[in-house]
Amino acid sequence: METSEILNKKVGKEEQPKSTVNPAIVKIASVVIKEKNKKGKKMATPLLQFMVKHPEKEELLVISKIKYIDGDKAITRGFWVQTDEDGNFFKGSSIDLILKKLQVATLEETYGKEIETVTDSKDSPYLCLKAY
């Protein structure tokens, strides 16, 4: 679609479809490190993506956020790959939280593990890995 076509589009009558899958227990199939953005440019901080098997879908789903409880608030964060001076993931990071939740020491050990998912928020139907 040309830029001029997009600039002259109006809002239609249909609402954007919501997520087609419900929160469920998923099985982690693999982990992917996304290093380039949608435009193909290298990202300053890579993003970890969990490829999961959801019971309502044939193909694997990509989940790149975690939801956890901090005090009395539910927090959603991305799985940004940030490491300390020794090359280890930071304590308290999203990756640390998910490794603790799954009771494993490395990302490779998450393969085959099952974990519950939840929606990001009432305004965002995307799924997050549940770490609470």
Does residue 103 surpass a pLDDT of 90? yes
What's the rounded Cα separation, in Å, for the pair 52 and 31?
Answer: 9
| Higher per-residue confidence, 60 vs 123 | 60
Averaged confidence pLDDT in the chain: 93
What does the domain layout of the chain look like in residue ranges?
A: 21-130
SS3 content of the chain, % helix, strand, coil (to 5): 15, 40, 50
Please give the average per-residue pLDDT across 60-72, as a whole number: 96
Share of the chain above pLDDT 70, in %: 97
Query: pTM score, two decimals?
Result: 0.83
Q: What is the pLDDT of residues 81-95, one digit of tens each?
A: 999 999 999 999 999
Q: What is the pLDDT of residues 3-35, one digit of tens each?
A: 778 888 888 888 766 557 999 999 999 999 999
Nearest C-alpha neighbor of 65 from the set 54, 51, 53, 49: 49
Contact 66, 98 (CB under 8 A): yes
